[in-house]
Chain A
Amino acid sequence: DGGITQSPKYLFRKEGQNVTLSCEQNLNHDAMYWYRQDPGQGLRLIYYSQIVNDFQKGDIAEGYSVSREKKESFPLTVTSAQKNPTAFYLCASTRTGANTEAFFGQGTRLTVV
């Protein structure tokens, strides 16, 4: 079955550490996105990539980094520069060329301990 897989489901990070969240899709979608969700709030765009080897900052990119070396994969690194990283992180993908819905993974809950 086609879909988006995020791992791990839960992640704990010590202060000062970088952590990387995985996102893989087998939908053959060109575009991939990372969103952050805080309790009681909507989704805020961190980074997005329309094509391999290219990505753009979203609305809250500070403290995060991404790479897009393969079409299927769009990992997100939460760096120590992100001062408030505890949140629910969602990865999504879409086809390009026309408006279309985003398909989401099941999310990674990151907690700083």
Chain B
Amino acid sequence: GESVGLHLPTLSVQEGDNSIINCAYSNSASDYFIWYKQESGKGPQFIIDIRSNMDKRQGQRVTVLLNKTVKHLSLQIAATQPGDSAVYFCAESRLGATNKLIFGTGTLLAVQP
């Protein structure tokens, strides 16, 4: 069935380093992808999205890369800060599928001071 999975359940980085969080998706028909950040006890917050007609999209300190050939998505966070510590989810959907988002398990990003 459809699934979105993450390669690394936990990622520990030093403050100031760059972080890369990876995500694999299995449905080649998916055409829209989102990264969410979830802090403990809170709802997920939108970080950045990308559509399948793009390979790369940049935001403030974050970059999302999409490799459709291998069905891989990554989130890069530049100059990681303690406030970036959270669980990061990728989600996929496809146009016409009722906007139903399929979420991966999540990666815990732990930023060490």
Chain A residues within CB distance 8 Å of chain B:
4, 6, 31, 33, 35, 40-45, 48, 50, 56, 58, 90, 92, 94, 96, 98-107, 109
Chain B contact-residue range equals 20 to 34
Contacts of A35 in B (CB 8 A): 103
**In whole angstroms, how far apart are the Cα atoms of A6 and B104 in the complex?**
23
Once the chains bind, are A99 and B31 in contact (CB under 8 Å)? yes
Per DSSP, chain B at the interface is: loop
Interface assignment of B101: CB less than 8 Å from any CB of chain A: yes
Contacts of B100 in A (CB 8 A): 33, 45, 48, 58
Contact with A along B98-110 (1 / 0, CB 8 A): 1111011110000
Centre residue among B31, B89, B99, B100 by max chain A CB count within 10 A: B99
Contacts of B98 in A (CB 8 A): 31, 48, 50, 56
Q: A45-B100, A50-B98, A99-B51 are in contact. Are A105 and B34 (CB under 8 A)?
A: no
Q: Which of B1-25 contact A (CB under 8 A)?
A: 4, 9
Chain B residues within CB distance 8 Å of chain A:
4, 9, 31-32, 34, 36, 41-46, 49, 51, 89, 91, 93-95, 98-101, 103-106
**In whole angstroms, how far apart are the Cα atoms of A95 and B36 in the complex?**
17
Q: Would you give the shortest CB distance from A23 to chain B, in whole angstroms?
A: 11
User: Which of B41, B93, B103 makes the CB contact (< 8 A) with A42?
Assistant: B103
Contacts of A104 in B (CB 8 A): 36, 43-45
Once the chains bind, are B105 and A103 in contact (CB under 8 Å)? no
